Amino acid sequence: MPNKVDILGVNVDAMTMSESVAQIETYMAGEEPMMIATANAEMIMRATQDEELRDILNRAAIVTADGAGTVWAARHLGYEMPERVAGYDLAQQLMKNSVRQGQRIYFFGSAPGVAEKAKAKAEQLYPGIQIVGTRDGYFTEADEPAIIEDIKAKRPHLLLVALGVPKQEKWLAKHQAELGVPVAIGVGGTLDVMAGVMKRAPLWMQKAKLEWLFRGMLQPKRAGRLLALPKFVLKVHGSRG
Q: Which sequence spans correspond to the domains of the chain?
A: 4-198
Q: Which of 215, 167, 189 is nearest to 69 (CA)?
A: 215
Max CA distance (Å), the chain: 51
Please check the confidence at residue 164 and state whether its pLDDT lies above 80.
Answer: yes
Beta-bridge mates of residue 6 = 11
Using 50, 70 and 90 to split pLDDT, how confident is the model at 240?
confident
Our CA angle for 176, 182, 187, nearest 5°, is 70
For all residues of the chain together, what is the average pLDDT?
A: 92
Rounded to the nearest 5°, which phi and psi values hold at 198?
-140, 135
Distance CA 79, CA 86 (A): 19
Q: Which tens digits make up the pLDDT trace of 113-154?
A: 999 999 999 999 999 999 999 999 999 999 999 999 999 999
Sign of the alpha-carbon torsion through 43, 45, 47, 49: negative
**Span 27-50, average pLDDT:** 96
Domain 4-198 part of CATH 2.60.120: no
Q: Which tens digits make up the pLDDT trace of 66-83?
A: 988 999 999 999 999 999
Q: Are 97 and 116 in contact (CB under 8 A)?
A: no
Using 50, 70 and 90 to split pLDDT, how confident is the model at 60?
very high
